[in-house]
Amino acid sequence: MSTVICPGTFDPVTNGHLDVIFRAAQMYEKVIVGVAKDSSKKPFFSLEERISFIEDEISGKNNIEVESFDSLVVKFANKHQAKAIIKGLRAVSDFEHEFQMAQLNKRLAEKVETVFIMATPKYAYLSSSAVKEIASFGGDISGLVPKKVKSRLQARNGVGG
């Protein structure tokens, strides 16, 4: 069985993240979405919330699973015998960082590949940070994130729906 991982902090998950996850699920037998605990980033949403947001969206997708991890990405990949790490790319600036990470990961785990999936054009400039900023000023984030994420962001920012 070809298993891949799709790691990230997903704080919060966006429709761009989900697009990459669903496209990976069409190419591979099993996709494990790894939600990083990553306390160094001081997440806006708790780990449990971030996992719940993704679980809601993958409901009914039999070849996608979600779980947390707090190790190196390659250790998480090896734990699941994943053949690849899936990373979404939006722009050249993403590539610069992801290329470096892919090279380091290859050095740490020679048998684990990194596969880049280009963002669908409508999500090319979408990021969790941008969504949080737009929401904090009461901007409309419809179509950028799942409805549950939108509701929670609005509630946290004291903005009505």
Active site residue 17: yes
Active site residue 80: no
Active site residue 39: no
Buried b (16+ CB within 10 A) or exposed e, 17-49: bbbbbebbbeebebbbbbbbebeeeebbbebeb
Backbone φ and ψ of 55, nearest 5°: -55, -40
Furthest-apart CA atoms within the chain: distance in Å: 49
User: From the candidates 2, 41, 71, 75, which is the catalytic residue?
Assistant: 41
In whole angstroms, give the CA distance from residue 149 to residue 37: 18
User: From the candidates 30, 50, 87, 128, which is the catalytic residue?
Assistant: 128
133 close to 12: Cβ distance less than 8 angstroms: no
User: From the candidates 17, 50, 87, 132, which is the catalytic residue?
Assistant: 17
Q: Which H or E element spans position 115?
A: strand 113-118
Alpha helices (runs of H) in 3-46, residue ranges in sequence order? 15-27
In whole angstroms, give the CA distance from residue 93 to residue 103: 16
User: From the candidates 50, 87, 90, 132, which is the catalytic residue?
Assistant: 90
Active site residue 151: no
> Which residues are identified as catalytic?
17, 41, 90, 128
